[in-house]
Structure 1
Amino acid sequence: MISKAVRSKVMARTAVIGLSLGVTALASLAGYSINGNVDTTRHVRETGMQSDQWGALTLNVSIEYEMLGDYLRASTDVGRQPLLSAMGSATGNIAWLAKNGDETDQEQAADVADSYAAYTQTLHELVDADALGEREAVDSLALQASLAASTLRKSGIAQVARKRLDMDQYLLAVDERNNKTLVAAGAIVAVDVVLLVLCASLMIGHQRRIERQAQESKYRAGHDGLTGLANRSLLAEHVDRTLAQAARGGDPVGLLLLDLNKFKEVNDTLGHHAGDLLLIEVANRLADAVRESDTVARLGGDEFAVLLPRVGSTDACLELARRVLDAVQGPAELDGVRVDISGSIGGAVYPLQSANSAELLQHADIAMYTAKRNRSGTAMYDAEADSHSSEQLGVIGELHRAIAGDELVLHYQPKVATGTGELVGVEALVRWQHPVRGLLPPGEFIPQAEDDEIIVALTDAILEMALVQHRTWRDAGVELPVAVNIAAGGLYDNAFPDRVAAALARHEVPGAMLTLEITETSIITDPAEVQTILDRLRDLGVKLSIDDFGTGYSSMAYLQTMPLTELKIDRRFIGSVHESPSDEAIVRAILELARALGLKVVAEGVESADALALLETMGCPFAQGYHMSRPLPAGDVLTWAAGRVGVPVNS
Structure 2
Amino acid sequence: MLAKVVRSKAVARAAVIGLALGVFALAVLAAVSITTNARTTAHIEHNSRISDHWSQIDLHISVETEALNDYMVAKKFGKDLLDSAVHSTRPDVEWQAANGDSLDKENIVLVQDSYAAFTDTLNELRRTTSNRDRMKELADQATLGASFLRKSANANVNRHRLAMDSYLADAASFNQKLSLAAAVICGADFLLLVLCASILLTHQRRIEGQAVESRYRALHDELTGLANRALLADEIEKALRVAQEQDESVGLLLLDLNKFKEVNDTLGHHAGDLLLSEVAARLTAAVRGTDTVARLGGDEFAVLMPEIHSPEHCSEIARRLLESLEGPAELDGVTVDISGSIGAAVFPLHSSSGPELLQHADIAMYTAKRNRLGIAVYDPSADRHSSQELGLIGELRRAIDEDELVLHYQPKVSTSTGRVVGVEALIRWQHPLRGLLFPGDFIPQAEESEIIVPLTDHVLGMALDQHRIWRAQDTLLPVAVNVPTVCLLDDTFPDRVAEALASRGVPAGVLTLEITETSIISDPAQASAILTRLRGLGVRLSVDDFGTGYSSMSYLQSMPLHELKIDRSFVRTLGESHGGTAIVRAVLELARALDLEVVAEGVEDEAALVLLGQLGCANAQGYHISKPVRATDLMAWLGRPVLESA
SS at match of 1:388: helix
User: Which residue, 214, 217, 237 being the options, matches 1:240?
Assistant: 237
Give the 3-state SS of the residue equivalent to 1:296 in structure 2.
strand
Structure 1 residues 335 and 404, CA gap change in structure 2 (3 angstroms): closer
Structure 1 residue 99: Cα displacement: 2.7
Q: Is 1:342 the counterpart of 2:342 in the alignment? A: no
Give how far 1:8 is off. Answer: 2.9
Which residue is 1:138 aligned to?
Answer: 135
Give the counterpart letter for 2:290 in structure 1. Answer: S
Correspondences of 1:359-398 after superposition (within 5 Å): 359-386=356-383, 388-396=385-393
Residue in structure 2 matched with residue 14 of structure 1 by the alignment:
14
Aligned to 1:38: 38
- Give CA deviations for 1:111-163 in whole Å, capped at 9, x if unaligned: 22222222222222222333xx3433322221111101000101111111111
Name 1:214's counterpart in structure 2.
211
Equivalent residue, structure 2, for 1:257: 254
Query: In structure 2, what residue type is equivalent to 1:235?
Result: L
User: Cα deviation per residue 1:231-287 (whole Å; 9 max; x = unaligned)?
Assistant: 112112212332344344531211101122333444455554443333223222212
Aligned-partner Cα distance in 1 for 2:180–2:399: 95
CA contact (8 A) 1:574 1:583 kept: no
Determine if contact 1:591/1:619 at 8 Å carries over to the other structure.
no
Q: Partner of 2:190 in structure 1?
A: 193
Instruction: Report the Cα distance in structure 1 between the residues aligned to 2:402 and 2:101, rounded to whole angstroms.
Output: 113
- In structure 2, the partner of 1:227 is 224
1:279 and 2:273 are equivalent in the alignment: no
Q: 1 CA distance for matches of 2:478 and 2:160?
A: 128
Q: What residue number does 1:56 align with?
A: 56
Q: Residues 42 and 13 of structure 1: is their aligned pair in 2 closer, same or farther, counting only changes over 3 Å?
A: same
TM-score with structure 1 setting the length: 0.86
Q: How does 1:533-552 map to 2 (within 5 A)?
A: 542-551=539-548
For the pair 1:421 / 2:418, whether they are aligned, the reply is yes
Partner of 1:25: 25
Match of 1:115 in 2: 114
Q: Report if aligned partners of 1:274, 1:335 keep a CA contact under 8 Å in 2.
A: yes
Which residue identity is paired with 1:128? R
Is residue 577–residue 583 contact of structure 1 (8 Å, CA) maintained in 2?
A: no
The equivalences for 1:495-506 within 5 A come to: 504=501
- Matched residues, percent identical? 59
Unaligned stretches of 5+ residues in structure 2: 641-646
Cα displacement (A) at 1:584: 3.6
Q: For the structure 1 residues 545 and 54, does the alpha-carbon distance in structure 2 shift closer, same or farther, using more than 3 Å as the test?
A: farther
Mapped partners of 1:609, 1:11: distance in 2: 94
8 Å contact 1:573–1:586 — kept in the other structure? no
Q: Which amino acid aligns with 1:102?
A: D
C-alpha deviations, 1:38-79, integer Å up to 9, x for none? 121112111111111111111111111112222333443x74
The alpha-carbon distance between structure 1 residues 106 and 178, as it changes in their structure 2 partners (threshold 3 A), is same
Are 2:79 and 1:80 equivalent residues in the alignment? yes
Partner of residue 643, structure 2: none
Shift of 1:295: 0.8
User: How far apart in 2 are the matches of 1:242 and 1:311?
Assistant: 11
Deviation string for 1:574-623 (max 9, x for gaps)? 4446642662476247515753xxx6543433445665566557765443
Listed one character per residue, the Cα deviations across residues 612-635 of structure 1 (whole Å, up to 9, x for unaligned) are: 566557765443223433223322
Mean alpha-carbon deviation: is it higher for 366-375 or for 166-175?
A: 366-375
**What secondary structure sits across from 2:627 in the alignment?**
coil
Aligned-residue CA RMSD in angstroms? 3.5
**For 1:347-362, what aligned pairs fall within 5 Å after superposition?**
347-362=344-359
Whichever residue aligns with residue 355 of structure 1, its letter is S
1:83-116 Cα deviation digits (max 9, x unpaired): 2233222222222223322222222222222222
Match of 2:167 in 1: 170
Q: CA deviation at 1:200?
A: 1.1
Aligned length: 637
What SS does the corresponding residue of 1:177 show, helix, strand or coil?
A: helix
The answer for the alignment partner of 1:649 in structure 2 is none
Instruction: Give the unaligned 5+ runs of structure 1.
Output: 644-651
**2:105 is equivalent to residue 106 of structure 1:** yes
Give the residue type in structure 1 aligned to 2:114: S
**Is the Cα contact below 8 Å between 1:538 and 1:563 reproduced in 2?**
yes
Measured in 2, the distance between the counterparts of 1:545 and 1:5 equals 70
Please give the alpha-carbon distance, in whole angstroms, between the structure 2 residues aligned to 1:559 and 1:58: 137
Q: Classify 1:453/1:266 alpha carbon distance in 2 versus 1 (closer, same or farther; 3 Å).
A: closer
CA separation of 1:75/1:503 partners in 2, compared to 1, >3 Å: closer, same or farther?
same
What amino acid does structure 1 have at the position aligned with 2:30?
A
| Equivalent residue number for residue 291 of structure 1 | 288
Q: Secondary structure at the match of 1:632?
A: coil
Counterparts of 2:592 and 2:120 in 1: how far apart (Å)? 155
Structure 1 pair 276–253 and aligned structure 2 pair: CA distance change class (3 A) = same
Closer, same or farther: CA 322–486 of 1 in aligned 2, 3 Å: same
